[in-house]
Structure 1
Amino acid sequence: MQKINDFGEKIGGAKKDLWKERNMIFEDTIEMTEAEKRKYVKRDNIWKKINAEEMLEKGYPRLIVFWLKEMRACIYPDMKRTYISIKEYIQAIEKIRDIVMKVKTEDDINLAWKKILCEEGVLYKTGPCRYSYAVPYYGIANGNKFLKLHEKDALDRLKMKMEKTGFGLSKTEFLSKKYDIVEFDEETVKVEHERFGIQKGKPCIAWKISGKTYPFYSRSEEINLEEIKKGQYLLLCKESRDVLFYGSKPEVILFKDTLIDLLIAGEKRKTKRKGKKKLVPKQLENIERKGKDYRHGHNIVGDDFLNAFKIRGGEFGNYTNDQDRQANLNMAYEAFCDLADALEISREDIGLVGLETGALGIAFGARGHGNALAHYEPGREVINLTKLRGAGSLAHEWGHAFDDFFGKIVDSHIVGHYATNMLRIDAIPESFKTLIHRLIRNEDNTFTEFYMNAEKIDQGATKTENGYWKSKVELFARAFACYVKDKLRESGKRNDYLCGHADLVNYESEEGLIAAYPTGEERKRFFVLFNQLFVELKQLGYLHEPIDDYEFNNNSHSQFKDLASENNIDLDNATQLTFADFGI
């Protein structure tokens, strides 16, 4: 079998691997699309999160590590508050980052502030209680947060915050600091009676520290403070000002250790909850197709995608063999032809010409995305199918691509949004608005079963984003895949590679199976609305009627053209060719 390689334009994409181990630099952004810049040019990529545990292991003082984290938190997480260029934004954060990250001692903190405020000109003082930015740094950080970290008593307040949150401490260490064991010596620790307030006349433990007396009370009938004898020890809670226990020193130590163990065990029980299940469609065991023969027995090559569908390019993962590559090319080609026929549009519309990158890209096992069988990348505008495991999801992902394409075509000024999230835009056709509304609510304004099921799945199934299953974007893609499947079925066709998962995604809940796709009468109503949508989209010129679509035959197939060219064969005038003539 001839080696099958990537085809068309290089899809590329943000090379996130480059800044996994280092911070992002401006040069990383040069080949990014605008969508990728919006997604990746952020504080967390330019200034990596501080690994507190690692720094503490290296011997950094807790206060220094806490200060570093607080200083980094002053930087806004993205560019929404700034009007400077990406290059200025990155370089400004780099400058502050490099100053801050050199701090290793409390003395270094003062030197860092000197550089930030004076030498580097990052900030300048506009009044006794306010700072502003030098022009290149405008809008990258919260000046008031910086101010609080630079005030005279800032470090003292930072220490209090650090201790209160237990930063850098194990759970046992953190809880231990809440409780003190003190000796009842009748001098610094003794019994007194309250002279004022609602506790007037009641005994309390008075603990004198640095000239100031702190009262602690017994809230248990089993602890009579007036029975405590000199030389005994007490366990005091600093937060609640409670006397928890008293006795000999070993007894009090044992009580404290037991109490802490119980508190930790209680927190674990409290936080332990039933884990959410992942809802990932199973790989199809069999991939069936019934319909028109589009390939005429030929193995599809990359040029066929470029010519037939106006796809801008395709790529394969390094771990896909030629057999898998050819199988995917053949099935994806047939699937796109079936999709165009089902939607009654030109095959050239499948490539969604007009996207930011020019047109849609396709990848086979080349752009892994967690456990997803397939996914669409709006930043690079490419559909990825995970080897043959992605079979069954192509219609769903094309639905996402179309949603993205339509949003960009309708209003290019609104960036980073799918059309399903732009329903207030006047340019969105009424048929599209009606469809999205009806996926969620019935005509009587009650929620659809499709939407309510999605809400239940969100409560029990894991996904990166909250509300993933009930989001308009996902509701549209799932309903669209079902529409395509039903359209094919209507004309006696079937294509599992295209939409095999359309009605196979179910969530196993305590109530039984919950369908993630539309069913019954709702599905029929959605089918009619999708029909109306694609009719209107063609009337408005967004999509086109089928035309004389790309076809190939034995003598014009690009695979043979390439081989003929390599062997100096004139296909138009050649007769009785053999494989040997092609060098095979």
Structure 2
Amino acid sequence: MAAIKKASKKTVQNKKIGDQGKVNPTGSMAEKYWNNKGIRTFINAQVKTNFNPNTAVLSKFKLKGIEFGNWVTIEDRWNYLKQLTLSLNNLNKILDFGNNVGLQNTLTISFGSRGKGKALAHYEPWSDVINLTRYKKGTPDSLKEVMFSVSGGFGSYAHEYGHFLDYFFGKYIDQDKNISSLTLGHSIRPVIENKYKAGSLRYLMFKVMDAIMWKPGKPKLESNGVVYVRSSFTSYYNNLRILFAEDEYWLRNNEIFARAFEQYILYKLKQKKVKDPFLSKIKYTPGVYMAPNELQAIITPMDNLMKAMAKYAKMK
């Protein structure tokens, strides 16, 4: 827990809001759209012109900051902030982090201020910032409600938060001098040997990656007892290696975990009968994700990892 406290000492810096976008005085356009889709929001406050995100949201979820690009209007900032608050609440209910989703003021969330190439969203491990790109404007402007939910970084938050968990707990809690992430980061080598202490975060992450990559091993009696020998990849991992033999990005351990975390969050949302397309939605071709039966194999090890992380998140 000392590491979490150390992380919390970072200086909080938030970008100055300088534009004067048109403000809808009756409420959030995005909120109406999501309500029509069956998603409940718990914020009903009217939009105000004195927009300032450095209040309840930062405090409740222990975020370091919220940033907005210069081209994100005041109205859009409210729409993003309202949906972010809903999604952070849903994420907290799933992970049971005691509202400490930002892990003691470590995480910054950025909307349209840190674009990176063609990426719709990305996580910066050196600064612990998740950036989501702004939605694309439609023609006419009445299409805004639709474009808000089908373009930009909408639907990518769970994926990027998976990266944040991977690197936060690898950098600050269960440290390894050779690698900062629990997943071994950009490595494309399949996990083979779990050399970590049983019950540690790295051990539990290995169990998740092992379930993604390998079929259950067959028992074999050796001098030190029964061991399980793995001999073949899961269909999912084997297909990934074939489909993306020329593009290692999709085979990186940290990306495989982030996509698995996306699916895990979708699975948990469905269990709770909650729809939250901002938090997570399927956006790649089928081969990039696990099939339902393959996903089932990782639920228990992922539950175990999240429970261990939750213990740290809820420490005082």
Structure 2 length-normalised TM: 0.70
In the TM superposition, 1:379-418 aligns within 5 A as 379-388=126-135, 389-412=152-175, 414=177, 417-418=180-181
The answer on 1:376 being equivalent to 2:157 is: no
The answer on 1:434 being equivalent to 2:207 is: yes
- AA aligned to 1:491 is K
The answer on 1:9 being equivalent to 2:12 is: yes
Change (3 A) 1:455 1:287: farther
In the TM superposition, 1:81-480 aligns within 5 A as 290-299=38-47, 301-302=52-53, 303-348=55-100, 350-353=101-104, 359-388=106-135, 389-412=152-175, 414=177, 417-421=180-184, 424-426=195-197, 427-428=200-201, 430-444=203-217, 445=230, 446-459=232-245, 467-480=248-261
- AA aligned to 1:9 is V
Counterpart contact for 1:352–1:402, Cα < 8 Å: no
In the TM superposition, 1:516-555 aligns within 5 A as 516-538=288-310, 541-544=311-314
Which entry has the higher C-alpha Rg, 1 or 2?
Answer: 1
Aligned match of 2:191: none
The answer on 1:496 being equivalent to 2:243 is: no
Change (3 A) 1:378 1:11: farther
Counterpart contact for 2:64–2:102, Cα < 8 Å: yes
Change (3 A) 1:320 1:488: same
Change (3 A) 1:504 1:310: same
Alpha-carbon deviation of 1:517? 1.0
The structure with higher relative contact order (CA 8 Å, sep 6+) is: 2
Structure 2: distance between partners of 1:398 and 1:298? 29
Aligned match of 2:143: none
The answer on 1:484 being equivalent to 2:247 is: no
Change (3 A) 1:517 1:10: same
Alpha-carbon deviation of 1:472? 1.3
Greater strand proportion: 1
Structure 2: distance between partners of 1:527 and 1:413? 26
- Show structure 2 runs of 5+ residues with no match: 1-10, 16-32, 136-151, 186-193, 218-229
Structure 2 residue corresponding to 1:515, chosen from 262, 273, 287: 287
Aligned length: 245
Counterpart contact for 1:315–1:363, Cα < 8 Å: yes
Counterpart contact for 1:369–1:375, Cα < 8 Å: yes
Aligned to 2:183, the other structure's residue is in SS state helix
- AA aligned to 1:379 is W
Same amino acid, percent of matched pairs: 28
Counterpart contact for 2:182–2:202, Cα < 8 Å: no
- AA aligned to 1:449 is S
Q: Residues 556-576 of structure 1, C-alpha deviation per residue, up to 9 Å, x if partnerless?
A: xxxxxxxxxxxxxxxxxxxxx
Q: Residues 516-542 of structure 1, C-alpha deviation per residue, up to 9 Å, x if partnerless?
A: 11112111122232222223334xx32
Structure 1 segments, 4+ long, off by >6 Å, are none
- AA aligned to 2:314 is H
Aligned to 1:315, the other structure's residue is in SS state strand
Counterpart contact for 2:67–2:110, Cα < 8 Å: yes
Structure 2: distance between partners of 1:292 and 1:485? 16
Structure 2: distance between partners of 1:471 and 1:458? 11
- AA aligned to 1:331 is Q
Alpha-carbon deviation of 1:410? 2.8
Aligned to 2:289, the other structure's residue is in SS state coil
Aligned to 1:352, the other structure's residue is in SS state coil
Structure 2: distance between partners of 1:10 and 1:362? 11
Counterpart contact for 1:408–1:414, Cα < 8 Å: no
Counterpart contact for 2:111–2:132, Cα < 8 Å: yes
Change (3 A) 1:413 1:11: farther
Counterpart contact for 1:373–1:385, Cα < 8 Å: yes
Change (3 A) 1:520 1:429: same
Structure 1: distance between partners of 2:40 and 2:270? 13
Structure 2: distance between partners of 1:394 and 1:352? 16
Alpha-carbon deviation of 1:344? 2.6
Alpha-carbon deviation of 1:504? 3.1
Structure 1 residue corresponding to 2:284, chosen from 484, 505, 512: 505
Counterpart contact for 1:301–1:329, Cα < 8 Å: no
Alpha-carbon deviation of 1:413? 5.8
Change (3 A) 1:420 1:304: same
Change (3 A) 1:515 1:485: same
- AA aligned to 2:283 is L
Counterpart contact for 2:196–2:202, Cα < 8 Å: no
Alpha-carbon deviation of 1:442? 1.5
Change (3 A) 1:440 1:287: farther
Counterpart contact for 1:439–1:448, Cα < 8 Å: yes
Alpha-carbon deviation of 1:412? 4.3
Aligned match of 1:35: none
- AA aligned to 1:433 is F
Alpha-carbon deviation of 1:458? 2.0
Alpha-carbon deviation of 1:294? 2.4
Structure 2: distance between partners of 1:537 and 1:490? 21
Aligned to 1:494, the other structure's residue is in SS state coil
Instruction: Say what the alpha-carbon RMSD is for the aligned residues.
Output: 2.7
Alpha-carbon deviation of 1:544? 2.9
Change (3 A) 1:383 1:323: same
Alpha-carbon deviation of 1:297? 3.9
Alpha-carbon deviation of 1:319? 1.5
- AA aligned to 2:215 is N
Structure 1: distance between partners of 2:236 and 2:76? 35
Aligned match of 1:113: none
Change (3 A) 1:505 1:406: same
Q: Residues 13-45 of structure 1, C-alpha deviation per residue, up to 9 Å, x if partnerless?
A: xxxxxxxxxxxxxxxxxxxxxxxxxxxxxxxxx
Structure 2: distance between partners of 1:294 and 1:452? 43
Structure 1: distance between partners of 2:279 and 2:204? 25
Structure 1 length-normalised TM: 0.39
Aligned match of 1:47: none
